[in-house]
Amino acid sequence: MRALGQSLPAAIAAAVCIAAGWAWGLRARWDYCSDPECNGDLEPSMLACPRCGGTIAGEISDPSRRPLDEDDEPDPC
């Protein structure tokens, strides 16, 4: 029985670490270029994407909401 008592705190600690990692992962954000052919990593201070040279106009919650360029075709749906 002593072995079970010693493994219980380790199991609780593991569960707490898993829950904390899950919660942090939900809050963590990564900024990237919304151009589907680029997806380059962006820093908050950048004015243009270093990978494709596209202008950073602001933040969007979903890449499908990115503004269209002159040569882009609108989605038919």
Query: Could you report the per-residue pLDDT of 15-53, keeping only the tens digit for each?
Result: 999 999 888 877 767 788 988 899 898 988 899 999 999
- The pLDDT assigned to 34 comes to 85
Q: Is residue 21 part of a domain?
A: yes
**DSSP string for residues in 15-77:** HHHHHHHHHHHHH----B---TTT--B--TT-SB-TTT--B-----SSGGGPPPPTTPPPP--
Give the global pTM: 0.48
Do 22 and 42 fall within a single domain?
no
Do 36 and 7 fall within a single domain?
no
- The pLDDT assigned to 1 comes to 44
Between these two residues, 21 and 76, which has the higher pLDDT value?
A: 21
Q: Is residue 63 part of a domain?
A: yes
Do 19 and 36 fall within a single domain?
no
Q: Which domain holds residue 39?
A: 31-68
Q: Is residue 76 part of a domain?
A: no
Do 25 and 38 fall within a single domain?
no
- The pLDDT assigned to 5 comes to 54
